[in-house]
Structure 1
Amino acid sequence: MNIKQFITGAVTLVFALIGAAKAQNVYPAKAEDISPLLIGEQLPSVYLTDAAGSIFELNKALAAKPTILIFYRGGWCPYCNLQLSGLQEIEEGLKNTGYQVIAVSTDKPDNLKQSMEKGKLSYTLLSDADLNLAKQVGIAFKAPEAYQKMLVGTTGGKDTDMLLPVPSIFILNRSGEIRFEYIEPNFKERISPELLKAVAKALYKDL
């Protein structure tokens, strides 16, 4: 075997191993071990579902104005509900600055609607029930066993890999480029609404 054949074989093996890993849906077992997209990287182009069950082209929405994109676990999470309420309190100020607020979770559309009604939320909630977006952003990890039975119901059975997103916030420009991110593996810890508002205001002139 010559060098060229060896290199070709090695490259083929690497791609085969990557393909096998993806096929086996290998995701971190711990929230601390995720590998998220970094500042300067681009959000992937995806279609999600809104609270009415309609298809939502995320990247088309992002192109309209700078966006504060929140990933939360679901309406069943009390810490997430507190975060959603805090966002509602500052949403008017964020809109006046020039932002739109979009929050994404594993919830199916019916559950999104319940969260909107319960929290009197005026911003957009989207369903990533199969975690397609969370996987591509690199914030998906294996849900603890205690959550798995519950996730079957809240996602409408779409979370077949039994994953959860690490709660995260991304501030994006109109090109979908990440300009700020706050990712906290401890789901009990969230950035305060006041701090988020201050960061968003400071960043806006450069978006």
Structure 2
Amino acid sequence: MKKIILFLALIAAVSLQVKAQKGLKEGDKAPVFTGIDQNGKNVSLKEALKTHRSVVLFFYRGQWCPYCNKHIKELQDSLNLLSAKDAYVIGVTPETKENIDKTIKKTKAGFSIVQDKDDEIMKAYGVNFMMDEATFTKYKGYGIDLEANNGNNRHTLPVPATYIIDRSGKIKYVHFDPNYQKRASVQLLLSKL
């Protein structure tokens, strides 16, 4: 019971921290970015939109997050349906390549996952937040070491947002919820493609 109460307090603390973040809105121009995915492939939003009707861009916190893993697995399980609508899926995370590999092992993700080494993509999309020291310490008490997971000491995480970006580079759908337990369902994404 004590662990449940502590876990709920942790959720509340993180939710309060990210309320200031707004993310981008439908109709906004999507910031272009490039990165290297888990296979060493150069991933560019601009290039993906040249060859696909849309991009499903989502941000996740790390391989240690069960809600992230569940969402990634759901995206992977429905990748054929998303691809049939000519959507290209890109995941963005602050975690290291080694931890991205753990995410892939857990979820069987076959789409591009890009490490946001300097938090530039998260900042461009307005999903980044800095975890305060008290919350960082609580996470560490649960066995989650962000410094080891992300390979830096910035304590930055993304709000687990999802954006659908159309061929013109405009954001056509946004799921942005500071409650990291809530994610856009695949059915909802399919209906917006």
Partner Cα distance (2:176, 2:145) in 1: 24
What is aligned with 1:115?
A: 103
Secondary structure at the residue paired with 2:81? helix
Partner Cα distance (2:18, 2:117) in 1: 18
- Contact map agreement 1:63 1:175 (CA 8 A) in 2: no
Pair 1:32 & 2:22 matched: no
Distance 1:46 1:147, change over 3 A: farther
Aligned positions of 1:23-62 closer than 5 A: 30-53=17-40, 55-62=42-49
Using the TM superposition, give the Cα deviation of residue 147 of structure 1 relative to its aligned residue in structure 2, in angstroms: 4.1
Pair 1:64 & 2:51 matched: yes
Pair 1:184 & 2:184 matched: no
Pair 1:163 & 2:156 matched: yes
Using the TM superposition, give the Cα deviation of residue 54 of structure 1 relative to its aligned residue in structure 2, in angstroms: 5.2
What is aligned with 2:11?
A: none
Structure 2, gaps ≥5 residues long? 1-15
Pair 1:150 & 2:145 matched: yes
The CA RMSD measured in Å over matched residues stands at 2.1
Partner Cα distance (2:179, 2:47) in 1: 31
Using the TM superposition, give the Cα deviation of residue 96 of structure 1 relative to its aligned residue in structure 2, in angstroms: 0.9
TM-score (norm 1): 0.74
Secondary structure at the residue paired with 2:167? coil
- Contact map agreement 1:45 1:58 (CA 8 A) in 2: yes
AA at the equivalent of 2:184: I
Partner Cα distance (1:62, 1:152) in 2: 34
Partner Cα distance (2:139, 2:31) in 1: 27
What is aligned with 2:70?
A: 82
Using the TM superposition, give the Cα deviation of residue 174 of structure 1 relative to its aligned residue in structure 2, in angstroms: 1.9
Partner Cα distance (2:59, 2:177) in 1: 11
Equivalences, count: 171
Structure 1, gaps ≥5 residues long? 1-28, 201-207
AA at the equivalent of 1:184: D
TM-score (norm 2): 0.79
Residue 94 of structure 1: which of 82, 91, 99 is its match? 82
Partner Cα distance (1:139, 1:100) in 2: 20
Partner Cα distance (2:100, 2:84) in 1: 25
Pair 1:173 & 2:160 matched: no
Q: Which 10-residue stretch deviates more, 127-136 or 140-149? A: 140-149
Describe the superposition over 1:130-159 as per-residue Cα deviations: whole angstroms up to 9, x where unpaired. 2111111111112232347712111122xx
Partner Cα distance (1:175, 1:112) in 2: 30
Pair 1:105 & 2:98 matched: no
AA at the equivalent of 1:163: T
